[in-house]
Amino acid sequence: MCISRRPRPLVAVGMTPDTSNADSGIVSEEAIVAKWAEMSPLIDRLAQRVGMPDEFPVLTGSALAGDEAACAAYPVSHAASLCLTAAVDHLHAAKVLVADAGFHHLAASSTLARGVIENAATGYWMLASRGRDERVTRALRWYLRNAHDQEEAARNVANVGGATEAEVKKKIKEASDRRGLDWAKVTSRLYATSIIREVEGETRLPLTFLWRVCSGLAHGRPWAYLGALTRETQVSHTPGVQEIRLTSSSAMALYPTLEAMHLVMEFIRLRDLRAGIFHPPRG
């Protein structure tokens, strides 16, 4: 199988609507370019906002303010902010790669969309419960997983410094006990699959399918490459071996990023609700 990358400037693709396929569900190149033009300023603004602390305040008397009072050592809002920052960083990188630089790599934009989905879904999941104890429990699970991952990453590296996983776990146990939380639940492992499925149910976005496809592309899985990319059979020079040229499409570069952006906006709406910031009802 011959896999190639064919970079193409987005502005160079055909701009004429494909009216012959108006009822087939095929999106024209003109519509794709227009969607990127619509999305890009919003993504740029999000990238600016996550670097400005005043853009995401926690108002006195809000649910998040109460969460911080309940567990000051491990604030729910800080964990959510880190998830949002990581999600927007990946989202902006996808926009720069595809809309600004005009490259359609085989898997890069989908890999970035995967990063958006994982982080935005985790942040949304952390804030989704109406109950304070559940929100604090989810945040503590996230902090505990962070400590575990840090120790695993630095296991064979000398003089890393910082608190050990055991030290963090002890502090989290103290915070959990003060709040009267279920320690078995606090120490239960986080799984991206279960988080994404739960958030999919809350948001009605096609997250699980997209995340799996993007993950398959990120890891070079044949099922994802052959299923999601455009295939062109080549002349084979080896008997019994079929050579295939794989290229990405402008639609494939757009769709996962678009749905990932929708998830980020849902996350921000929920985060603002918990922070006491009013949003008008959807039209």
Beta bridge partners of 234: 243
Q: What is the pLDDT of residues 176-199, one digit of tens each?
A: 999 999 999 999 999 999 999 999
The pLDDT > 70 percentage for the chain reads 91
pLDDT in the model for residue 207: 98
C-beta separation of 105 from 5 below 8 A: yes
97, two tokens: 């790669």
Q: What is the pLDDT of residues 78-106, one digit of tens each?
A: 999 999 999 999 999 999 999 999 999 99
pLDDT in the model for residue 25: 58
Q: How many Å apart are CA 140 and CA 188, to the nearest integer?
A: 10
C-beta separation of 4 from 247 below 8 A: yes
C-beta separation of 59 from 65 below 8 A: yes
Q: How many Å apart are CA 128 and CA 80, to the nearest integer?
A: 11
What is the pTM (predicted TM-score) of this model? 0.89
Which helix H or strand E contains 231, and what residues bound it?
strand 230-234
pLDDT in the model for residue 16: 33
Q: How many Å apart are CA 274 and CA 57, to the nearest integer?
A: 11
Give me the mean pLDDT over the 31-51 stretch.
97
Query: For residue 24, which phi and psi values (nearest 5 degrees)?
Result: -95, -5
pLDDT in the model for residue 8: 34
Q: Taking 90 as the threshold, does the pLDDT of residue 240 lie above it?
A: no
Question: How far is CA 198 from each of CA 87, 155, 217, 271, rounded to the nearest angstrom?
Answer: 18, 32, 23, 17
Q: Taking 50 as the threshold, does the pLDDT of residue 35 lie above it?
A: yes
Query: For residue 247, which phi and psi values (nearest 5 degrees)?
Result: -135, 155
Rounded to the nearest 5 degrees, what angle is found at the Cα of 122, between the Cα atoms of 121 and 126?
115
- In 3-state terms, what secondary structure has residue 19? helix
Q: How confident is the model at residue 11 (pLDDT cuts 50, 70, 90)?
A: very low
Q: How many Å apart are CA 263 and CA 204, to the nearest integer?
A: 10
Q: Taking 90 as the threshold, does the pLDDT of residue 277 lie above it?
A: yes
Q: Taking 90 as the threshold, does the pLDDT of residue 136 lie above it?
A: yes
Which helix H or strand E contains 245, and what residues bound it?
strand 243-247
Give me the mean pLDDT over the 113-137 stretch.
99
Euclidean distance between the first and the last CA atom of the chain, given in angstroms as a whole number: 49
221, two tokens: 């899985």
Q: How confident is the model at residue 19 (pLDDT cuts 50, 70, 90)?
A: very low
Q: What is the pLDDT of residues 52-66, one digit of tens each?
A: 989 999 999 999 999
pLDDT in the model for residue 94: 98
Q: Taking 90 as the threshold, does the pLDDT of residue 15 lie above it?
A: no
Q: Which residue has the higher pLDDT, 157 or 113?
A: 113
The pLDDT > 90 percentage for the chain reads 80
Q: How confident is the model at residue 257 (pLDDT cuts 50, 70, 90)?
A: very high
